[in-house]
Structure 1
Amino acid sequence: MRIVIVGEDAGRAGELEESLGFFGQDWNVSWLAQADAALSITDPVDVFLCGLRPGGLPGTVLLSQLAALHPQAVRILLLDQDEDAVMLQGLDCAHRLLSRPLDAGELIEAVDSVAELRQVLGNEELKQTIGRIGSLPPPPRLYLELSRLLRDPDASNAAIAQMLSQDPAIAAKVLRLCNSAYFSGGREITDIRAAVTRLGHQTLLRLVLASEAFGPMHLGGKEREAIQDRSLRTSRLARRLLAGPSAELAATAGLLAEVGRLLPGVSGGPDQPGPHYAEAGAYLLGLWGLPMPIVEGVAFQHRPGRLKASGFWVAGAVHVASALVAETPVDEAYLRNVGVIDKLPQWRDMVEPAAAEAA
């Protein structure tokens, strides 16, 4: 496997290669001082890795350009401990975010988990099922545009409200959700600008995503409402299981956990014929270009232990939240392995009642 590391301390090359050898990885690692040297590579590369400020280009820009030149390569962005604020921005261009200094074990886990996901989404039965669908649900246009706007630190609530108002149907759905039992707090919200102020940017962004993602569902009204209800409860619970920017990733992945049900020909369980809705949903999100941790969280929501990444992260949070909301068994062996089994009773108490029960 060929790995290219850009703009990092080449003095650590020997240390990293020694560590990789200890883990049994015979990888070819190249260290480049300047970004333009990476952009001039024409031979196949398996992994590109850089920080936020590699020589010559911002790291996010470099990885975006490398994505076009080497679409099959795994892209990893290195962050210092105080760079959490740019975490979500980095996920637009990188498959993985790792912390400095680079740890060989974390690098191996990151590469292996992306390879595992590609194997899942490369399932031939899944590809054939997707290929037989005449028209896939379109990408959530307004969600993606709003995501770009929210990256601007100078974006005002008025500008956000104006963007939402360009699509009256979405605006109406957002207001309807905003006034549901989950978000209203007993006060009716009647305009989009008030919704922006009341909900906050990330919650509003997820409501827009829910409105767009679940709008074209082929399912009947009651089934659609039941799925949307579970999705909102799963999202809110998943968000509470993680901290910082990871909480927002878990909330979005939880919201989309059942989006695969949009697609005809998928199954509702692992023992039923046809690709599972979790894998189909992850495939759809990959086509939409959503960040890899969200795609992974949906793909592995029922089997988080298959991910090689250590610790309890997005896929684990979605697994727990979706299982508790749907009242299905939680993988306690997995929780024990990642060291959070003692939190399960507390998490059970956090589950919100269904909308019909709360009414």
Structure 2
Amino acid sequence: MRILLVGDEASLPAELSDYIGDLGEEWQVQTVPDGNAAISAVATSSIDAVIVAPVLPDLTAATLLGQMRTLRPETIRIALIDANASHRPPSARIIGMAHRFLPLPLAPEVLLEALTSLEELRELLDSPRLRSSIGRIEKLPSPPHLYLSLMHALEEDDDSSTEDIAKLVAADPAIAAKVLQLSNSAFFNNGRAISDLRGAVTRLGLATLRDLVLASEVFSAQSLSTTERNALQARALTASRLAAKMLPESSAQLGATAALLADIGLLLPGVRNEHDPAEEGDDRPGHAEAGAYLLGLWGLPMPIIEAVAFHLQPQRSNIRSFWVTGAVHVATALASGLPVDEQYLARVGVAAKLDGWRNSANDLITLPADA
């Protein structure tokens, strides 16, 4: 992998270059001090990933990343953010330019994890056409910042209080309203109205809250009509609940998140809806792999990315047992009324469970259209 580091030694110390260089011959790193030097480097050679410091002497990080998008749309663009700003969403302008954000000070192991996951993503979705198509999109859907902040808070402190979680949710009034609305719906209401977020978080539970926050952020795309958005969100939440039921507790949250995001590629312009018959000569990337590639750029775990990529064709997965990919395939198919690949289920030894999963899908109470 060819990596370009852009910034001074305060942001990108020499130890980082040495660390990457010691990983092996297949890892090549180049460091330049400013934006114009980076543009020259990218113009004359192919770069797999560019990592940009938050402050440069000549250009803003957003301007440089925009130039990178024009020159090399297939190059993965990573923006570094100050540690003091790590809990706040990056500026709207840079969100539209960067594929992923990493915190400063940048620890070598954090960089390695990010680069390794991107390399795995390339191996999984090794399509220059797909990378170029996604790279040229003017405005990608923003990463779900509230969801990621919520997960970060829970990972840092298993004992995060309900009040702390409620404060995070309150930062987004639109999502806070949905949380209150859902907590007072017939499915969760036990007869007492809830009017405060802390009570709503307690009533819903963290698993449901995570799913709702993620769905609300991801499916807020202005390109969808209200009806389309509500229908897509309702199907996604149904599939999410079903996938979680089909997996052991240790994998349930992975399956729930992957099923929730399985059709996120439908939010991207210039992709083909794979639920519709393919037309001859249509060379647009399919929405499953396009969505998986987007999630990889956001930094989600590889089991989720692979499940999204192959949820329509589970036999293409590298996983040879029934795990997240299989659960997402079955859950999304049943939630949408689509055929299940029974040959695949027989191969992985779970065909006998299909009738029970159908019954579970029929029994699930989905969210109201306006929830």
Q: Does the TM-score normalized on the shorter chain lie above 0.5?
A: yes
Query: How far 1:175 moved relative to its partner?
Result: 2.2
| Corresponding residue of 2:237 | 232
Q: Structure 1 43/227 Cα, relative in aligned 2: closer, same or farther at 3 Å?
A: same
Deviation track 1:239-279 (CA, whole Å, cap 9, x = no partner) reads 10001120111011111111111111112117253211111
| Corresponding residue of 1:341 | 351
| Distance in 1 between residues matched to 2:139 and 2:349, nearest whole Å | 43
| Distance in 1 between residues matched to 2:254 and 2:358, nearest whole Å | 21
Query: How far 1:178 moved relative to its partner?
Result: 3.6
| Corresponding residue of 1:30 | none
Question: Does 2:269 align with 1:264?
Answer: yes
| Corresponding residue of 2:146 | 142
| Distance in 1 between residues matched to 2:189 and 2:325, nearest whole Å | 29
- Whether the aligned pair in 1 keeps the contact of 2:237 and 2:366 (CA below 8 Å) is no
Per the alignment, in what secondary structure is the counterpart of residue 274 of structure 2? coil
- Whether the aligned pair in 2 keeps the contact of 1:252 and 1:294 (CA below 8 Å) is yes
Question: Does 2:210 align with 1:205?
Answer: yes
Query: How far 1:202 moved relative to its partner?
Result: 2.0
- Supply the AA of the counterpart residue of 1:256: L
Q: Structure 1 327/193 Cα, relative in aligned 2: closer, same or farther at 3 Å?
A: same
- Whether the aligned pair in 2 keeps the contact of 1:120 and 1:279 (CA below 8 Å) is no
Per the alignment, in what secondary structure is the counterpart of residue 226 of structure 1? helix
Q: Structure 1 341/163 Cα, relative in aligned 2: closer, same or farther at 3 Å?
A: same
| Corresponding residue of 2:247 | 242
Q: Structure 2 matches for 1:258-337, cutoff 5 A?
A: 258-269=263-274, 271-272=278-279, 273=282, 274-337=284-347
Question: Does 2:73 align with 1:68?
Answer: no
- Supply the AA of the counterpart residue of 2:163: A
Unaligned runs of 5+ in 2: 1-17, 28-106
- Whether the aligned pair in 2 keeps the contact of 1:258 and 1:278 (CA below 8 Å) is yes
Deviation track 1:22-65 (CA, whole Å, cap 9, x = no partner) reads xxxxxxxxxxxxxxx9888342479xxxxxxxxxxxxxxxxx73
Deviation track 1:169-193 (CA, whole Å, cap 9, x = no partner) reads 2211222344445544666433211
- Whether the aligned pair in 2 keeps the contact of 1:181 and 1:355 (CA below 8 Å) is no
| Corresponding residue of 2:31 | none
Give the total of aligned pairs. Answer: 266
Deviation track 1:153-175 (CA, whole Å, cap 9, x = no partner) reads 23111111112112222211222
- Whether the aligned pair in 2 keeps the contact of 1:175 and 1:190 (CA below 8 Å) is yes
Please point out which of 114, 117, 122 is paired with 1:118: 122
- Whether the aligned pair in 1 keeps the contact of 2:146 and 2:169 (CA below 8 Å) is yes
Q: What is the RMSD of the two structures over their aligned residues, measured on CA atoms?
A: 2.8
How high is the TM-score relative to the length of structure 2?
0.65
**What percentage of aligned pairs have identical amino acids?**
50
| Distance in 2 between residues matched to 1:133 and 1:40, nearest whole Å | 32
- Whether the aligned pair in 2 keeps the contact of 1:44 and 1:70 (CA below 8 Å) is no
Unaligned runs of 5+ in 1: 1-36, 47-63, 75-94, 96-113
- Supply the AA of the counterpart residue of 1:227: L
| Corresponding residue of 2:131 | 127
| Distance in 1 between residues matched to 2:114 and 2:285, nearest whole Å | 25
